[in-house]
Structure 1
Amino acid sequence: MNQSKANELLSQVGRKSKRKSIDRLGKVCVSYNRVSSKDQMVNGNSLFWQNERIEEFAQKNGYQIKSKYGGTFESAKTDERKEFKKMIAAIQKDSSISTILVYSYDRFSRSGSNGLFLLENLKKLGVSVVSITQEIDSSTPTGEFQEGLYMLLSKLDNDMRKQKCAEGIKSILLKGFWPFAIPTGYENLNKRCTADKHKLVITEAGKLIAEAFKWKATGRYTNLEILNRLQNAGLKLRLRNLTNIFSNPFYCGYIISGAIHGEVIRGHHPPIVDEETFLRANAIFKRHPLSGIPKQVKNDALPLKVFLKDEKSGCQFTGYMNKKRKIHYYKVRQYGVGVNDTS
C-alpha cells in the first residue's frame, strides 16, 4: 500500500473535531452606511461619500456587493436599528455572504461591548466586518484586538459626546433658555437658531391657556369643565395635556428640568400667567389631580413645595408648621435625608 493511500485511510478513522465552524468562501458581501441624524441625511453628503468609497474599495479588492443597507439616519448607540437588523437577518438566511463592508467601525456600532458580542456572533457564522478606512486582518489575534479596540473607542467617543451635550444643555437651561420642544401656547419665531437666540411669543392658544389658569385659580371649575370651555373656544387638548399645563411653571416664566436637578430658573420667555395665579391654580390641582373638586387653598405659607426638589435625593419638598414657634418648615419625606429649612 502506498503512503498516500495509507494517509487517506488513516484520515477516515482519525478523531474528528467536535468544533462546528462555518466557512463562507468567496467575496460576496453587503454594504452598510448610515448617518446619526435626519439633518445630516438631508443637508449633508456623507451617505453619498460613504457609499462611493465602499464601492471603490469593493471594485479594487474584488468584492461583489450583493445588497446595500442603511442609506438613512440611524443612531449606533444601540444595535436596535431597522436597516441594521434587516441586514443581519439577510446574512443569517444567505450563506453566500461572507463580508460586511462599512466605511468605519463607528458606522457599524457605537455600543461598545454589545458591538463586540455582535462581531463574535458574526464570526461564528463565518462573516467578517471590514472597515475600508481602518484596514486590519481580524483573522489574527492582533487584528482581532485592534478590531475590539476600535469598537470600544467608538463607545468612548459616543459617551464623551453625550457628556458634552448634557453639559451644554445644563448651561443653556441655567442661563434661562429652553432648548427643548416649545410648550403649547408659544411659538418660536427663530426656529433655526440656537436656544439662546430663540424668540418666543404667546399665540392665540396661549391666550386661551391664560384664561384656563384664571378659571382653575377660582376653584369653581373642574379640569373637565375647563377642558370643555377650551375646546368650545377652538383649542383642542386632552385632559392629560391640560393637567400637565397647569403644573408646568414655564407658563409663569420659570424653567425646571431634570438636567438642572430641580433648580428653578427665571426664563427669558414671556409668562402666560402671573405667579400668584399659577400658584393658586396649581395648589388646587395638586390637592385634587383627578376629581377636580373645587376647594380653596388653605395655606400659602409653603408656595415652593410644588416645585423644589432635594439636590441629593431628587425628592420633592413638602412642609409643616411648628405649632410652638408658629414657623413653617420645608422638609423631604424620605428616611435618612436630613433637609430641614424655614420658609
Structure 2
Amino acid sequence: MKIGYARVSTADQSLSVQEDALNSAGVERLYSEKDSGGKWQRKELHRMLDALRPGDTLIVYKLDRLARSQKQLQDIAHMLKSGDIELVSISEQLDTRTPMGKAMFGMIGIMAELERDMIRERTTAGLASARARGRKGGRPKADPAKVKKALALYDSKEYSVPQITEETGISKALLYKELNKRKQSGVGS
C-alpha cells in the first residue's frame, strides 16, 4: 500500500501543495498534520508509522516534512528498513525501491553519522581544552541567595511566578526544580 505523510509547521500554512503531489503519486492513505517537525511527539506521524506494514511504501513530498533533524530521520529510516517498508521522497527524487535510491539513502545515513561523530569530536576537544585552562563545563550554579529569596517570595503567595523570576533573575524551571526538591524532602510548604 502507498501511504503518504504531509506536514506543515503552523496552522496558517497550507497542506494543499503536498497533498496534491502525494495524491498524484498514487497515495492510497494520507496522513496530514500541522505541527513542528522538530517535535517527535506528532500525533499523525505516529498514527502513520503504526499503520505501515511490510511491503508498504511511505511517500513524502520532502524528507524535511518527515523529520527536521538527522537523528529523527535516522530513527525513522531504521524503523522503515527493519519493517521492510520503502521510502519515496518526491522533491529529492529519492526512491528506496531502486538500487540508486537505496544507495543515496544509505549515503544520507553515513553523512548524518559522520556529522554526529564530528560534533562529538569537536565537543570532546573543546571540553578538554577548557579543562586544561582550569574551566569546568556545565551551567554556572545559581546564586543560593537568589534561590532562597525566590522561595520566600513564592511562599508569601503575594507574587506570581513571572514576577518572582523577574525580581530574582532565576528561571521558572529552576524555581520549580527547587520547589520539587523541597517538597520531596518534606521541608516548607
Query: Which bin holds the TM-score, normalised by the shorter protein?
Result: 0.5 to 0.7
1:106 aligns to what? 64
Post-superposition shift, 1:135? 1.0
Q: Give the deviation of 1:80 after TM superposition.
A: 2.4
Larger Rg: 1
**Superposition RMSD in Å:** 3.5
Structure 1-normalised TM-score? 0.33
Q: Do the aligned residues in 2 keep the contact of 1:78 with 1:111 (CA within 8 Å)? A: no
Which of 83, 97, 115 is the matching residue for 2:44? 83
The answer to whether residue 109 in structure 2 is matched with residue 148 in structure 1 is: yes
Unaligned 5+ runs, structure 1:
1-27, 157-216, 227-241, 259-289, 292-343
Find out whether 1:33 has 2:1 as its counterpart: no
Runs of 4+ in 1 over 4 A off after TM superposition: 255-258
Name the aligned partner's letter for residue 132 of structure 1.
I
8 Å CA contact 2:9–2:35 kept in 1: the answer is: yes
**Counterpart amino acid of 2:35?**
E
- 1:52 is aligned to 2:20: yes
Q: Which residue of 2 aligns with 1:69?
A: 31
Q: Distance in 2 between matches of 1:36 and 1:87?
A: 17
What is the total number of aligned residue pairs between the two structures?
A: 133
1:133 correspondence with 2:91: yes
* 2:2 counterpart SS class: strand
User: Which residue is equivalent to 2:135?
Assistant: none
Q: CA deviation at 1:78?
A: 4.1
Instruction: Quote the Cα distance in structure 1 between the aligned partners of 2:164 and 2:64.
Output: 42
* Cα distance in 2 for residues equivalent to 1:120 and 1:246: 47
Deviation of residue 124 (structure 1)?
2.4
Change (3 A) 1:133 1:243: closer
Report 1 or 2 for greater relative contact order, CA contacts < 8 Å, sequence distance ≥ 6: 2
Secondary structure, aligned partner of 1:247 = helix
Identity rate, percent: 22
Change in CA separation of 1:86 and 1:257 when aligned onto 2, cut-off 3 Å: same
Change (3 A) 1:245 1:85: closer
